[in-house]
Amino acid sequence: MALPGPGRMVDDAQIEEERRDLDKLLRSTTAREKLDGLKRLIGMMSTGRDVSGFFPSVVLNIQQDSFEVKVLVYMYLVRTAEQKPDEALLSINSFQKDLAHPNPRVRALALRVMSSIRVAVIVPVVILAVRKCA
């Protein structure tokens, strides 16, 4: 087993503090802080860290008006929905609301993400959404 280098030593307290800070950003009232938190979360995801514990905090941001926040939230949901299928099912209502959004980019994003979530229970909802949009 390799020992961590001098800059890689991290204890449990630091990890817990990082998780609290990130959760605080995700639950912030400003879109800027939410965007910063989501960028950090996606970065952690890309390095292979388990970020499924942030699912409830991320799902709260689905109804955000900022398109950039929506894109990152949807990216997170596609990657983690298989690990938390019950929670992913709860977010479907928000996707359906976005299918009626006045902005065609938001509608297209919602449909694309819904069809990308690999949870069997969601398939009938996706089929209805595609029929509705066609």
Q: What is the pLDDT of residue 120?
A: 84
What would the two tokens of residue 15 be?
């990890």
Q: What is the pLDDT of residue 119?
A: 84
Is residue 107 predicted with pLDDT exceeding 70? yes
b/e 48-62 (16+ beta carbons within 10 angstroms → b): eeebbebbebbbebb
Its pTM stands at 0.82
Residue range 15-33: mean pLDDT, rounded: 92
Question: pLDDT tens across 54-80, in order?
Answer: 998 998 898 888 999 999 999 999 888
- 89 or 105: which carries more pLDDT confidence? 105
